Structure 1
Amino acid sequence: MESRPLRYFVAVAEELNFARAAERLGISPPPLSRAIRRLEAELGVTLFERTTHSVTRTPAGDVLLAEARVVLDALEAAGRRTRRAAAEPKLVLAVKADGDAGLLEPILTRYAAEPGSVPVAVRLCGWQEQPRLLRGGEADVALVHAPFDGAGLDTETLAVEPRVAVLASNHPLASRDRMELADLGLNAGTVDRHIDGARRGHGDLAQVLTAVSLGEVVTLLPASVAARYPRPGVAYRPVSDAPPAVLSLAWPQQSRSTATAALVRTATAVAEEARDGA
């Protein structure tokens, strides 16, 4: 199966209109229709139900749309990685600025001392952007907190640490030494959604902590953040039943880069030493 028919199929599957899909692709409708017919004949399935007024995907079409997007993204990512390798051999590591559990610097230092290591460019990114950068070929490896979309990625857990409540120092709960999720109006099933909403609504960590100090938001953060970012007006308090924060290293499943493999080994060793020394 070639990539062009897949691109044609994705355009029709997303537009559900042959004329709009043809315009999007820069071709006329008749050759587009013929290409879809050939693809259906090749696969031996019907991908679209067509009437004079509508086009809808069949169940087979739904499956192929999901698979085709993965394939086309992988092709584009391969091109990006190839161009980057030709321009300058290096690794790109994606990480949220405050999302490394204190491991980024020791990982980079240890890896730089390894024989045959290549330069590592750190790409600072937004909340949960790392999987997209990996699948798109814009990064080779990433540090990312769970939960995240791991489709097409291999992962290695580096750190599991408690979460703490982050609240204004004048908040009524700040006088407590410890609390439970229920005190914050949360339960184990709503924690991730709550954290995701707080981070997306306030951008980077500095903005989150400012919002906390102003009493606009209460959230949960990994304990390592509390240790590294003390701030006037912000109180960090243990939450006895909060699910832990899990930091993973992620990289594309199809990666065959020896440099990426070496960085993964180094990061795993550094994280293990950090756990043993804790």
Structure 2
Amino acid sequence: MELRTLRYFVAVAEELHFGRAAARLYMSQPPLSRAIRQLEADLGTALFRRSASGISLTPAGAALLKEARALLAQAEQARTRVAAAAGSASLTVGILSDSTDPAVSRLAAAYRREHPSVEIHIRETDLTDPTCGLRAGLVDVALTRGPFDATGLRVRELRSDAVGAVLRADDPLAGRDELALADLADRRWFQFPPGTDVAWQSYWNGGRPRTGPVVRAVQECLQAVLWNGTIGLSPLGHHDPGDGLVTVPVRDLPPSPVVVAWTETTALIRSFVQTAQATYRTNAPSAPRRPGAPVRP
């Protein structure tokens, strides 16, 4: 039984859908189906119940899922220990600057517990590069937000956050419980420099062209709101905009996805992605501040 086949099986068992599992594994569905059938033949038992309504695990499949997860975890630990012994266990992680998401701290603690000998290098990037240097080859893995052009990248969504408009506390709209994009149609919005990822710029402009001051960092965006009354956007619940500013939910803006992205899959990157998925899955985001409430220091 090969580890690769066990990874295939775990993906199908967790997704309970061959198409989604194939997409997760970055492969087409036919070879995945053949691999699972060959595994069932080798074991002499069915691992899945197949019907017109979908698939489900048999008792044998449930037993194998538990064992397969343990074996794959042990294999990852072995690869990491070997890399550490060879003096090559290091990982460069790109993150967006000025991130105050508490999940990042939990991820750091969890990864350090699981891989104490791996040296982590952090590269902060400003808002002009949502891949945090990944596409330029400056980092091994990026902990960032979407949407952005993911061509050539592997991306996993970890969480999605509702988004609000950042306004001056004395703005006529600041007392609202929520806003619609139409309420902000005639306002100036912050812009990113020319050459910034098109999908990224479009999302933070509410899906349409806008005009306004060019910013590169979160603090520049907040200062543009404070000094010029520009419209800013921010995920709810994770960033305190500061004194004199409020964040009001925007009901018709899609949530902002928190994602982990990478290009080449190595043992260290795979373990980082798995730890990130487990950390974000088991820790709910902090509750958002009451809509429209002024922020106090």
* 1:201 counterpart letter in structure 2: V
Answering whether residue 226 of structure 2 is matched by residue 217 of structure 1, we say no
* Residues 123-151 of structure 1: per-residue CA shift (max 9 Å, x gap): 00122525372233211100121121211
Alpha carbon RMSD of aligned pairs, Å?
Answer: 3.0
Partner of 1:272: 281
Looking at structure 1, the residues matched to 89 and 234 of structure 2 have their Cα atoms a distance apart, in angstroms, of 36
**Could you say if the C-alpha distance between residues 277 and 195 of structure 1 is closer, same or farther in structure 2, counting changes exceeding 3 Å?**
closer
Q: 1:236 aligns with which of 247, 252, 255?
A: 247
Looking at structure 1, the residues matched to 137 and 278 of structure 2 have their Cα atoms a distance apart, in angstroms, of 25
* 1:260 counterpart letter in structure 2: I
* 1:273 counterpart letter in structure 2: T
Shift in Å, 1:275: 3.2
**Could you say if the C-alpha distance between residues 135 and 120 of structure 1 is closer, same or farther in structure 2, counting changes exceeding 3 Å?**
same
TM-score by length of 1: 0.59
Identity of aligned residues (%): 28
Counterparts of residues 1-278 of structure 1 (less than 5 Å): 89-99=89-99, 101-115=101-115, 117-131=117-131, 133-185=133-185, 192=203, 194=205, 201-225=214-238, 228-252=239-263, 255-275=264-284
* Residues 213-243 of structure 1: per-residue CA shift (max 9 Å, x gap): 1234112211134xx3241111111222221
Looking at structure 2, the residues matched to 162 and 230 of structure 1 have their Cα atoms a distance apart, in angstroms, of 15
**Greater radius of gyration (CA):** 1
* 2:90 counterpart letter in structure 1: K
Unaligned runs of 5+ in 1: 1-85
Task: Give the aligned length.
Answer: 187
Tell whether the 8 Å contact from 1:101 to 1:159 is kept in structure 2 after alignment: no
Looking at structure 2, the residues matched to 200 and 135 of structure 1 have their Cα atoms a distance apart, in angstroms, of 26
Shift in Å, 1:244: 0.7
Looking at structure 1, the residues matched to 245 and 272 of structure 2 have their Cα atoms a distance apart, in angstroms, of 36
TM-score by length of 2: 0.56
Tell whether the 8 Å contact from 2:132 to 2:142 is kept in structure 1 after alignment: no
* 2:166 counterpart letter in structure 1: V
**Could you say if the C-alpha distance between residues 277 and 97 of structure 1 is closer, same or farther in structure 2, counting changes exceeding 3 Å?**
closer
**Could you say if the C-alpha distance between residues 88 and 122 of structure 1 is closer, same or farther in structure 2, counting changes exceeding 3 Å?**
same
Looking at structure 1, the residues matched to 212 and 104 of structure 2 have their Cα atoms a distance apart, in angstroms, of 21
* 1:218 counterpart letter in structure 2: I
Query: Which one has the bigger helix percentage?
Result: 1
The SS at the match of 1:241 is coil
* 1:93 counterpart letter in structure 2: V
Looking at structure 2, the residues matched to 198 and 104 of structure 1 have their Cα atoms a distance apart, in angstroms, of 33
Shift in Å, 1:264: 0.5
Tell whether the 8 Å contact from 2:127 to 2:218 is kept in structure 1 after alignment: no
Shift in Å, 1:167: 0.7
The SS at the match of 2:108 is helix
Tell whether the 8 Å contact from 2:134 to 2:142 is kept in structure 1 after alignment: yes
* 2:282 counterpart letter in structure 1: E
Looking at structure 1, the residues matched to 185 and 108 of structure 2 have their Cα atoms a distance apart, in angstroms, of 39
Looking at structure 2, the residues matched to 100 and 276 of structure 1 have their Cα atoms a distance apart, in angstroms, of 12
Unaligned runs of 5+ in 2: 1-85, 187-198, 288-297
**Is 161-170 or 113-122 further displaced after alignment?**
113-122
Partner of 2:194: none
Shift in Å, 1:204: 1.3
* 2:242 counterpart letter in structure 1: R
* 2:92 counterpart letter in structure 1: V
* 1:221 counterpart letter in structure 2: S
The SS at the match of 1:214 is helix
